[in-house]
C-alpha cells in the first residue's frame, strides 16, 4: 500500500461536502391543551398523548435567587426536598414512588424551582399525592441538610477548578453587575452559613402555588387528570412573597478580563452580550443569526476555528431566554499559543455578521435546522411536557411556539442582518479569558485592552 493510500482521502470541509437536499418540512400539529386554574392559583395543563401508558409531569414555580445567600438556600432546598416529609422518611418516599413505576426529581436555577417526574398512567392519582406531599410537607431533616451541604461544598470546590466555570462566573459578574444574574452559583461560605432552619423557611415562604404551573402529558383523560390534580393539591397554599428585583443595568462594554491560571495548557474564552427578548419582532431573526454564527456544527464559527484553523474542537454560541434578560453567549477552549488568534477570529466572525449579509444557503439551512429541532423536541411525551412547562412559565404557550415557527420560516437575509447588528456588535460584548497570563497576555494586549485578574479573585 502506498503512503498516499494509507493516508486516505483528504477530509472535506463543511462547505465542500455534498449535502442531500432538505425534505419539505411537515406542518407541526398543535396538540389539544386543556387548562384549569385551581382555587389556590396553581395552573394545570393537560395534553393527551397516547401510545405509551405513562404520564410525564412537569411543575415550574418562581424562585428567583436575589443574592448569593438565597441561591445557597435554593441549592440546598433542591438537594434535600425529597429527604423526607411529615408522612414518609426519605427511604419510604423513594419506595412509594418505586411501587408506582416512577420517580420525581427536583431542580433549581436562578429563576425557578422545577419538579419533574413520570409514572404509569394508572398510578397518576397516587403519584400526584406524593408530589404534593413533597411540595407541602418536606421536612428537611437537619442531618440530611448538613450532609448535603458538605457534599455541595466539595462539588463547588471541584467546579471552581474548571477554567470554563471560572470564565462563566467572571463573565456573569462583569456583565450583570449588581443584578441577581451576576451570581451563577453560591460559594462555599454561603453554603456554610445556611442552616437547615433557613432552608425550611425558604420552602415555607417561597414554595407556594401562586404563579406555579403543572403540566401533565401522556395516556390520560384531561378531565379526569384535572380532577385528580385538584384533589392532590387542594391543601397547598401560601401567600405571594414580596420581593424587589434590582433593575437590569448590564455592562456590555469594557476591557477583556484575563484571569491568570498559571501553568494552564489551554485558554477558556467566553463572551456574552444582551440579546433580544422572546417577544421582540426580531427574535426569530436573532435565532437564525445565532444558528449561522455558531449555533450548530455547520456554523461559521466551527468552520473557521475548527475546520480551517484547527484551534479548537467545538466552539459554540447560544441564546439564553431568561425571564430578566436574554443573553447571547460564545465559548471556545483553545490551545494557549493560539489564544489571541482565536479571539481575533471570533471578533472577525462577529464583525462579518454585522457588516455583510448571510447567503441564501446559510439562511435556508439555519431555518430548517431550527424548525426541525422544535419538532424533535416535542416528539416524545417527556419533551412535550418540558417544552410546554417552560413556555407557560415564561408567559408563552405552544401556540406561541407554532407562530414562532411560521415567523422563522419567513425570516429574510435582511432580517438576519438587522438582528446581527443589534446583538453581535463586538464593542457591545464582554469577554473573559482564563489561561496562563505569562503566556497569553502579551499577544492579547497587542489586539485588545486587557484587565488582569488573579485566580483567587475569580473563584
The per-residue pLDDT for range 295-332, each reduced to its tens digit, is 999 999 999 999 999 999 989 999 999 999 999 999 99
Every domain range in the chain assigned CATH 3.30.830.10:
33-233, 256-454
Mean pLDDT value of segment 108-127: 96
Comparing C-alpha atoms, which of 182, 198, 210 is closest to residue 74?
198
For domain 256-454, the question of CATH label 3.40.50.300 is answered with: no
Model pTM?
Answer: 0.90
- Enter the DSSP assignment of 442: H
pLDDT at site 6? 36
DSSP letter (8 states) at residue 82? T
Q: How many CB atoms lie within 10 A of CB 433?
A: 29
What pLDDT score was predicted for residue 27? 65
What does the mean pLDDT of the chain come to? Answer: 92
User: Confidence class of residue 97 from pLDDT cuts 50, 70 and 90?
Assistant: very high
Q: If DSSP codes are grouped into helix, strand and coil, which group holds residue 269?
A: strand
Query: Residue ranges of the alpha helices (H) in 138-261?
Result: 142-159, 163-176, 188-192, 196-206, 222-233
Q: In DSSP terms, which residues pair with 329 in a beta bridge?
A: 272, 318
pLDDT at 11 > cutoff 50: no
Asked whether the beta carbons of 419 and 264 are under 8 A apart, the reply is: no
For range 156-177, the mean pLDDT = 94
Q: 3-state secondary structure string, 321-335?
A: ECCCCEEEEEEEEEE
For residue 393, pLDDT over 90 is answered with yes
Report the distance separating Cα 359 and Cα 210, nearest Å.
Answer: 47
Q: Which residues pair with 46 in a beta bridge?
A: 34, 216
Residue 10 has pLDDT above 60, yes or no: no
The enclosing H or E element of 127 equals helix 124-137
**According to the model, what pLDDT value does residue 67 have?**
87
Residue 291 has a pLDDT of 98
pLDDT at 15 over 60: no
DSSP 306: I
Chain CA centroid to CA 419, Å: 22
Q: So what's the pLDDT on residue 411?
A: 98
Among 1.10.1740.10, 3.20.20.30, 3.30.830.10, 3.40.50.300, what is the CATH number of 33-233? 3.30.830.10
Q: How far is it, in rounded angstroms, from Cα 287 to Cα 418? A: 12
- pLDDT tier for residue 455 given thresholds of 50, 70 and 90: confident
Q: What is the pLDDT of residue 30?
A: 77
- Asked if pLDDT for residue 278 goes beyond 80, the answer is yes
**Confidence category of residue 396, pLDDT binned at 50, 70, 90:** very high
8 Å CB contact between 336 and 264 = yes
Amino acid at each position: 500500500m502506498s503512503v498516499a493510500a494509507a493516508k486516505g482521502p483528504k477530509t472535506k470541509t463543511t462547505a465542500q461536502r455534498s449535502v442531500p437536499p432538505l425534505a419539505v418540512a411537515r406542518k407541526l400539529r398543535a396538540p389539544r391543551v386543556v387548562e384549569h386554574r385551581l382555587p389556590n392559583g396553581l395552573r394545570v395543563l393537560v395534553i393527551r398523548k397516547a401510545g405509551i401508558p405513562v404520564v410525564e409531569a412537569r411543575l415550574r414555580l418562581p424562585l428567583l435567587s436575589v443574592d448569593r445567600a438565597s441561591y445557597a438556600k435554593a441549592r440546598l432546598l433542591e438537594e434535600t426536598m425529597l429527604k423526607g416529609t411529615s408522612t414518609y422518611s426519605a427511604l419510604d418516599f423513594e419506595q412509594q414512588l418505586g411501587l408506582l413505576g416512577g420517580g420525581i426529581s427536583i431542580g433549581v436555577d436562578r429563576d425557578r424551582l422545577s419538579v419533574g417526574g413520570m409514572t404509569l398512567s394508572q398510578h397518576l392519582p397516587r403519584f400526584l399525592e406524593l408530589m404534593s406531599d413533597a411540595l407541602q410537607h418536606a421536612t428537611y431533616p437537619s442531618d440530611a441538610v448538613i450532609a448535603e451541604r458538605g457534599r455541595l461544598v466539595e462539588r463547588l470546590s471541584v467546579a471552581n477548578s474548571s477554567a470554563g466555570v471560572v470564565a462563566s462566573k467572571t463573565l456573569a459578574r462583569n456583565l450583570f453587575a449588581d443584578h441577581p444574574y451576576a451570581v451563577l452559583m453560591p460559594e462555599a461560605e454561603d453554603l456554610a452559613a445556611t442552616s437547615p432552619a433557613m432552608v425550611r423557611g425558604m420552602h415555607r415562604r417561597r414554595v407556594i402555588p401562586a404563579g406555579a404551573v403543572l403540566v401533565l402529558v401522556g395516556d390520560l383523560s384531561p378531565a379526569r387528570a384535572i380532577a385528580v390534580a385538584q384533589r392532590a393539591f387542594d391543601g397547598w397554599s401560601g401567600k405571594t412573597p414580596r420581593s424587589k428585583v434590582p433593575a437590569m443595568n448590564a455592562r456590555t462594554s469594557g476591557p477583556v478580563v484575563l484571569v491568570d491560571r498559571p501553568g494552564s495548557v489551554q485558554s477558556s474564552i467566553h463572551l456574552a452580550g444582551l440579546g433580544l427578548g422572546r417577544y421582540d419582532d426580531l427574535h426569530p431573526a436573532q435565532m437564525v443569526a445565532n444558528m449561522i454564527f455558531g449555533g450548530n456544527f455547520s456554523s461559521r464559527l466551527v468552520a473557521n476555528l475548527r475546520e480551517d484553523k484547527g484551534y479548537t474542537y467545538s466552539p459554540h454560541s447560544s441564546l439564553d431566554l431568561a425571564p430578566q434578560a436574554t443573553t447571547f453567549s460564545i465559548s471556545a477552549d483553545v490551545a494557549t499559543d493560539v489564544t489571541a488568534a482565536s479571539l481575533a477570529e471570533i471578533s472577525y466572525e462577529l464583525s462579518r455578521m454585522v457588516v455583510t449579509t448571510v447567503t441564501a444557503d446559510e439562511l435556508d439551512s439555519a431555518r430548517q435546522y431550527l424548525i426541525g429541532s422544535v419538532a424533535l423536541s416535542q416528539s416524545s411525551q417527556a419533551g412535550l411536557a418540558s417544552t410546554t412547562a417552560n413556555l407557560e412559565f415564561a408567559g408563552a404557550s405552544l401556540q406561541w411556539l407554532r407562530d414562532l415557527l411560521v415567523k422563522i420560516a419567513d425570516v429574510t437575509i435582511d432580517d438576519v442582518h438587522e438582528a446581527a447588528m443589534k446583538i453581535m456588535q463586538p464593542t457591545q460584548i464582554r469577554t473573559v479569558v482564563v489561561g496562563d497570563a505569562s503566556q497569553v497576555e502579551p499577544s492579547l494586549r497587542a489586539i485588545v485592552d486587557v484587565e488582569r485578574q488573579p485566580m483567587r479573585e475569580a473563584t
